[in-house]
């Protein structure tokens, strides 16, 4: 099944960031290997860069011809985030926005109180908001209450590569919001991390540092793309339930295969 976010369907369940690659050629090759659903761009970081760099990135984005998801990285207040989102809509001609509103410089943890306020304003202004949030169930419910139709809970602090730190909370979130698209954003470091959260039933992942700062970003982009697909396929295949006691795989002599009428 395709990934459904708001009113749009995507073939891929991987979203890929565009920051911190060694050079544009590596970014181009990594994106082409991964074939992500969307690529993210931080407007504030690009406008702070040189004009030449900005033109080069914009040209590359146009060449890649993939949906762009601008984000509000670096924003510390509701006003900053809303203004940045409005600028991004004009620059990139899209109503999609990844809403980031940071509350702590060391962990880059989202300021969930201001996040809900900003999401409310942007939803009412016609944006399709994908909020970068924690795995807190109550926070996620508040974001849904103001109109967000998909959420992006973190696995661990941005750029750490630790993988899912609070597994219990992520499981609870998935179980309590079964019909809401949940994309794990931030903190994944290995393809196995991505496969794990996809096996748990999460709908997708967003990556940047794990790919862009790896030794071979193009190879890592391909590895993550395969891991996301494998994890989703495993989830849809309905894995066996873990158990503490052994169970023979062939309990009855003469019946090595279970009976599956659909394969007769």
pLDDT digits (tens, 9 = 90+) for 131-150: 999 999 999 999 999 999 99
Instruction: Tally the residues of the chain.
Output: 264
Q: Which of 62, 132, 142 is nearest to 102 (CA)?
A: 132
Distance between CA 44 and CA 50 in Å, rounded? 12
pTM above 0.85, yes or no: yes
Is residue 155 one of the residues assigned to a domain? yes
Contact by Cβ (8 Å): 218, 27: no
Is residue 88 one of the residues assigned to a domain? yes
**Domain total of the chain:** 1
What's the confidence (pLDDT) of residue 213? Answer: 96
Is residue 149 one of the residues assigned to a domain? yes
Write out the residue range of the structural domain in which residue 79 sits: 9-237
Is residue 222 one of the residues assigned to a domain? yes
What CATH number is given to the structural domain containing 39?
3.20.20.70
The mean of the pLDDT values for the chain is: 90
Is residue 252 one of the residues assigned to a domain? no
Residue 33 catalytic? no
Is residue 115 one of the residues assigned to a domain? yes
Q: Which residues of 206-219 are buried (b: 16+ CB within 10 A; e: fewer)?
A: bbbbbbbbbeebbe
Q: Residue 88 annotated as binding?
A: no
Catalytic one of 33, 98, 128, 196: 98
What's the confidence (pLDDT) of residue 44? Answer: 61
- What mean pLDDT do residues 146-169 have? 96
* More confident site: 163 or 46: 163
Is residue 159 one of the residues assigned to a domain? yes
Strand partners, 39: 16, 68
Is residue 261 one of the residues assigned to a domain? no
Q: Which residues of 66-99 are buried (b: 16+ CB within 10 A; e: fewer)?
A: bbbbbbbbbbeebebbbebbeebbebbebebbbb
Q: Residue 208 annotated as binding?
A: yes
Q: Residue 159 annotated as binding?
A: yes
């Amino acid at each position: 099944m395709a990934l459904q976010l708001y009113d749009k369907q995507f073939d891929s369940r991987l979203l890929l960031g565009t920051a911190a690659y060694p050079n544009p050629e590596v970014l181009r090759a990594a994106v082409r290997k991964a074939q992500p659903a969307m690529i993210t761009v931080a407007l504030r970081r690009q406008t702070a860069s040189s004009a030449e760099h900005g033109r080069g990135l914009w040209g590359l984005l146009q060449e890649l011809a993939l949906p762009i998801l601008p984000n509000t990285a670096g924003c510390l207040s509701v006003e900053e985030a809303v203004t940045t989102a409005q600028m991004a809509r004009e620059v990139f001609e899209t109503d999609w926005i990844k809403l980031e509103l940071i509350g702590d410089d060391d962990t880059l943890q989202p300021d969930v109180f201001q996040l809900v306020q900003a999401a409310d304003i942007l939803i009412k202004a016609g944006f399709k908001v994908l909020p970068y949030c924690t795995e807190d169930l109550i926070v996620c419910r508040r974001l849904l209450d103001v109109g967000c139709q998909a959420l992006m809970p973190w696995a661990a602090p941005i750029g750490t590569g630790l993988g899912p730190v609070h597994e219990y909370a992520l499981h609870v979130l998935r179980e309590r919001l079964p019909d809401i698209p949940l994309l794990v954003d931030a903190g994944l470091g290995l393809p196995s991390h991505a496969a794990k959260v996809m096996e748990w039933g999460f709908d997708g992942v967003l990556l940047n540092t794990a790919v862009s700062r790896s030794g071979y970003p193009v190879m890592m982009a391909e590895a993550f793309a395969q891991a996301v697909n494998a994890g989703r396929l495993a989830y849809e295949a309905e894995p066996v339930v873990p158990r503490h006691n052994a169970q023979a795989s062939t309990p009855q002599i003469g019946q090595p295969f279970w009976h599956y009428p659909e394969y007769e």
